[in-house]
Amino acid sequence: MSAKDSLAEIKEEWQTQLIDFVNTTEKLEEYINLTDEERSVLQANKTTWGTTPYFASLMDPDNPNCPIRKQVVPSRQEQENTYGMDNYLVWKENRDNDENRPDTIARQYKDRVAFTVTQNCGIYCRHCFRKELVVDGNLELDFNVEEGLYWISQHPEVRDVLITGGDPLLLPDEHIAYLIERLREMSHIEMIRFGSRVPIVLPQRITENLKKILGGYHNVPIWLNTQCNHPKELTHEVAWAVFELMSCGVNVGNQAVLLKGINDDVETFRELHQKLLKTRIRPYYVFYCEAAPGIDHFRTPVEKGAELIRDALRGHTTGLAQPMHVVATNIGKIPLMPDYYITEKDEKEYTLRNHKDEMTKIPNVPE
Ligand SMILES: *Cc1c(COP(=O)(O)O)cnc(C)c1O
Ligand code: SF4
């Protein structure tokens, strides 16, 4: 059997993957040898956790510091909170506002909105900044999709809709088709984006039928940003799913989260970005791990992302591999990039520094 045939078989499996979702201690033990610590946290467990059997199978059975395992298995540190902000999502998504928007619409910009259509995910990431909603479920929102679609139809200044969640690609095919169709009927919508970890945690979801729904030429294109945080997540199955998406006209980018102990060292950070390109995924953002409650243990100093781009990527490897490091705030995403380039400036010239600490000069041109 060729690799392609066996993948065609796997592709019929996505619903089974959800039915067999790994979210009990017993099921988890089929994949890893739990430490006493992990077991006691799971027994006291008050949080939603779990992932697909496919993603669970990537965990190292014996190493509790495995980068996949740390994203999947709850830790005691989640109960600690020194730096996280209370009511984080209300602040972050500007929910406390006068605009009277439906719960499904988060807005920080004039021309684009985030449209939350579900709170189910293919992995309940331990570092999720939407934890209050998606993982711990103590923020109650009303996912009335019709209301959201109506709001968008009444806002002609919105040209770009980012469909998010939870994970929108976990919705049934008909729902996805309906959302796309309704948005494409609105003459002011120029592009549709999906935010989805499905290509990484459930690549089997990219089926022939989903390709028909997302695919084909249309003047309102579909872009997809996934979230891959560690090179171990980039398997042959993922590469195939991404190829399938691209072959039907969907652009695939990555929005990684900078996670302490998972991807915050130079080697891993570089390998992640090189391997993304090898998998045909274009690095788009690296997010500073947000100030949501209970995720202090994943958070680095604010400068770390810029340092990693300086030391691991810029000049050191393919320019396409370089994402923008941003911190997402209530007033939008703010870039935090290295700033070593201009070392001096006078009336005559700029002195510029490269990644090897070499200097060069270019003329300073007046206005
Ligand atoms: C991230 C986000 C967007 C999209 O931002 P881009 O920088 O255009 O990718 C839009 N709206 C909200 C509320 C967001 O959080
Ligand atoms: S897939 Fe996204 S929304 Fe879902 S838990 Fe992970 S980070 Fe949060």
Q: What is the pLDDT of residue 113?
A: 97
Residue 54 lies in a domain: no
Q: Residues lining ligand 1, judged by CB closer than 6 Å?
A: 106-109, 112-114, 162, 333
Domain of residue 116, CATH code: 3.20.20.70
What's the gap in Å between 125 CA and the centre of ligand 2? 5
Same domain, 147 and 128: yes
**Average predicted confidence (pLDDT) for the chain:** 93
Note down the domain range covering 10. 3-14+80-336
Residue 275 has pLDDT above 60, yes or no: yes
Same domain, 258 and 356: no
Please give the model's pTM, rounded to 2 decimal places: 0.93
Residue 215 lies in a domain: yes
The residue to which tokens 């740390």 are assigned: 70
Using CA atoms, how far residue 79 sits from 88, 127, 135, in Å, is: 16, 13, 13
Residue 111 lies in a domain: yes
80-124 pLDDT per residue, tens: 999 999 888 888 877 777 778 998 999 999 999 999 999 899 999
Residue 47 lies in a domain: no
What's the gap in Å between 198 CA and the centre of ligand 2? 10
Residue 103 lies in a domain: yes
Same domain, 188 and 311: yes
Other residues' Cβ atoms within 10 Å of the Cβ of residue 24: 12
What's the gap in Å between 15 CA and the centre of ligand 2? 19
How many domains, in total, are found in the chain?
Answer: 2
201-249 pLDDT per residue, tens: 999 999 999 999 999 899 999 999 999 999 999 999 999 999 999 999 9
Residue nearest to atom 5 of ligand 1 (CA): 333
Residue 51 has pLDDT above 80, yes or no: yes
Ligand nearest to the CA of 117: 2
